[in-house]
């Protein structure tokens, strides 16, 4: 076996192991919305659907209305709604604005790798 092939196989093994670990982790998420507006309702539906599709049985989603619980929003330094926060697993991530861009949300949740830019 050549050295390049050994390295390639090692990297492949590491990626597969990382994938297995990530599939076993439970996600703790908070979605901050502003009232019962259509935009808030759409964000809730979209995030719940993505969680069910990609994290079925391994997530805890808390929806927080910043008008009903302003102290929580202040403590988390929420500057816009909707905002989705991935508290666990680390690292902490904040996704701000429309949740309609599913790729952006999945990347923010570390469920899909970022696209590599062409060199």
Selection from 101, 27, 90 nearest residue 58 by Cα: 27
Cis preceding-peptide flag for 40 (omega within 30 of 0): no
Q: Give tens-digit pLDDT for 22-56.
A: 557 899 999 999 999 999 999 999 999 999 999 99
pLDDT at residue 18 is higher than 90: no
Strand pairing report for 93-96 and 83-88: antiparallel
Q: Give tens-digit pLDDT for 55-106.
A: 999 999 999 999 999 999 999 999 999 999 999 999 999 999 999 999 999 9
- Distance (Å, rounded) from C-alpha 33 to C-alpha 56? 22
pLDDT of residue 31: 98
pLDDT of residue 118: 46
Architecture (CATH level 2) of domain 27-108: 3-Layer(aba) Sandwich (3.40)
């Amino acid at each position: 076996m050549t050295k390049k092939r050994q390295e390639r196989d090692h990297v492949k093994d590491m990626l597969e192991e990382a994938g297995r670990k990530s599939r076993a982790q439970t996600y703790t998420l908070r979605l901050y919305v502003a009232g019962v507006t259509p935009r808030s309702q759409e964000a809730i539906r979209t995030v719940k659907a993505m969680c069910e599709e990609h994290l079925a049985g391994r997530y805890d989603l808390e929806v927080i209305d910043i008008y009903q619980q302003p102290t929580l929003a202040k403590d988390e330094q929420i500057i816009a709604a909707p905002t989705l926060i991935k508290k666990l697993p680390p690292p902490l991530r904040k996704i701000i604005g429309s949740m309609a861009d599913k790729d952006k949300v999945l990347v923010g949740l570390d469920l899909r790798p970022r696209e590599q830019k062409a060199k």
